[in-house]
Amino acid sequence: MNAPRATRADLAVAVVLTAFGVVSVLTTGPAPGNGVERDPDALAAALAVLSTAPLVLRRAAPFAVLLVTSAALVTLSARGSALAASGLGPILAAASAAYLTDRRGAIASGAVLVAVLVLSTVLAVADDPGYLASLTAALVIGALATLVGDTFRTLHERNRELERLRSAEARAAVAQERVRIARDLHDIVGHALAGITLQARAGRRWVARDARRAETALGEIDELATRALQETREAIGHLGGDAAADPTPGLDDLPALVGRLQHDDLHVDLRAAGVDAAAVPPLVQASAYRIVQEALSNVIKHARPATAVVTVATSPTALRLDVHDDGRRRPSGDGRGHGLRGMRERAAQCGGTLEAGPDPAGGWRVAASLPIAGRPA
């Protein structure tokens, strides 16, 4: 992994502090109360440069910068030279180390900084009347600098974690939407093909015996295919974020669904008296519609001829569906296909349950309970 590169801000900080420090060291001589004991010289200027200039590399090597700037500060203090901005070098280096490493790095850099500031204070102002105040200030500044760096690192890590969580949630939402659309397409196409097959067989039977009934069967095929094409386009439109796509089907669409499947080989009786569709959330309505659609498609594919009874009822907490047919299942209709799994997933996405299997009284039953009031059904 490449080391972080110095930024323009790092360069600007290092240049400004170094220029200020060098100028201050070269223009400050011994005077009562300023803690300076030596006249300016070239070594003092060089140490002033070493105490701040390495900050340009604080991102790439924070601990090395901390050690170099600390050594320069301690040497300046020991010589009795003017410190000026030299103390800012180790402080910024320690804060950077705490920010760029980890908690152990923050503790280590804080310990080094406090030791350096205390030692520099002792060397520079040990005989000064305000020595204790200066020593206390050194301790506080050392602790605060490290705490600030560590706090900013913690906040940065939390922000990155939140970004990762948001990205993961977005990817999961996209995956769920794709699964939902794939499930819709399965139900739409499967139901349409089942209905078309039903009507095509009827038309073939009646074509030579009753032209009017054959024409009716062909009309049903046309309507089923057109509707399937329209619903497929709507599902794909949702995938692309098409705001103009029609709303998803609901309970009010069940009579039309049942009406399209009425045939000599299949009679469907819908019992939904007293059901208030407005009290059922749209997601639950859409899931209920698709469950009934798939259950009836399975009857067409696996159990014709048959009579199917679709019962829809509501309670204060749940929408209950029951699709029962009296047909005799073919060997392929064992209830382990994609359709049954899709119905269970649709029930689960609403927090509901679905059971399907042979009815002891004969035929096949699909029963679902979908919560409608945010409580278990």
Give residue limits of the domains in the chain: 8-128, 249-377
What band does 274 get if pLDDT is binned at 50, 70 and 90? confident
Lowest-pLDDT range of 214-218, 266-270, 275-279? 214-218
Considering the entire predicted model, what is its pTM? 0.49
What band does 349 get if pLDDT is binned at 50, 70 and 90? confident
228 has a pLDDT exceeding 70: no
β strands within the chain, DSSP E? 266-271, 306-314, 318-325, 353-358, 364-371
Residue 186's pLDDT is what? 67
Lowest-pLDDT range of 50-54, 107-111, 120-124, 295-299? 120-124
Round to whole Å and give the CA distance between 341 and 336: 7
Write b or e for each residue in 143-175: b if 16 or more Cβ atoms lie within 10 A of its Cβ, otherwise e. eebbeebbeebeeeeeeeeeeeeeeeeeeeeee
Cβ neighbors of 273 (< 8 A, separation 6 or more) are none
Contact 103, 151 (CB under 8 A): no
Q: β-strand 306-314 against 318-325: which pairing, if any?
A: antiparallel
Residue 330's pLDDT is what? 62
Residue 32's pLDDT is what? 60
Contact 185, 235 (CB under 8 A): yes
Residue 181's pLDDT is what? 67
Round to whole Å and give the CA distance between 359 and 123: 94
Q: For the chain, what is the mean pLDDT?
A: 79
CATH code, 249-377: 3.30.565.10
| Residue type (1 letter), 338 | H
Could you give the percent of the chain with pLDDT greater than 90? 12
Residue 138's pLDDT is what? 80
What band does 375 get if pLDDT is binned at 50, 70 and 90? very low
77 has a pLDDT exceeding 60: yes
Residue 321's pLDDT is what? 94
Average pLDDT over residues 335-364: 83
